[in-house]
């Protein structure tokens, strides 16, 4: 009895993973705390302690990780002042400020549909 040859050797000519701008944006904004950090920074420059007080239930480690992630992606800037103790403030970059309208629209969508 003859068996059929497998045709599973197909190799696509184009990459299987196609980068999408929305996916890239969600990668930058991903994580549980990113939206909440941005919400607070839309009101202006904030210190770490103020952010931690305003964002309920965020641990120092989670906040630090989120701030570093957003900084690495150019969404916010970290300003260190040589005081005793050291003062660190966070503010949005122009790239981060551009997210304000997008997040407002997401809020409106959520109010309507969720």
What percent of the chain clears pLDDT 90, i.e. is strictly above it?
A: 70
Question: Does 2 fall in a domain?
Answer: no
Q: Is 5 inside any structural domain?
A: no
Please state the pTM of the whole predicted model: 0.78
> 3 in a domain, yes or no?
no
* 47 in any annotated domain: yes
- Cα–Cα distance, 92 to 38 (Å, whole number): 8
Phi, psi at 47, each rounded to 5°: -90, 160
For residues 1-26, average pLDDT: 62
Residue 86: give its domain's CATH number: 1.10.10.10
Q: Is the pLDDT of residue 74 over 90?
A: yes
Question: pLDDT digit string (tens) for 35-55?
Answer: 999 999 999 999 999 999 999
Number of structural domains found in the chain:
1
Structural domain harbouring 83? 32-113
β-pairing, 87-92 vs 76-81, is: antiparallel
């Amino acid at each position: 009895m003859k068996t059929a040859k497998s045709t599973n050797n197909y190799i696509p000519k184009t990459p299987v993973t196609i980068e999408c701008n929305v996916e890239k944006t969600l990668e930058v904004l991903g994580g549980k705390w990113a939206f909440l950090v941005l919400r607070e920074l839309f009101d202006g420059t904030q210190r770490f302690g103020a952010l931690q007080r305003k964002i309920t239930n965020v641990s120092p480690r989670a906040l630090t990780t989120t701030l570093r992630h957003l900084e690495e992606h150019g969404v916010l800037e970290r300003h260190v002042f040589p005081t005793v103790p050291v003062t660190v403030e966070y503010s949005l970059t122009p790239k981060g400020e551009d997210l304000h309208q997008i997040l407002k629209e997401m809020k409106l969508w959520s109010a309507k549909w969720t």
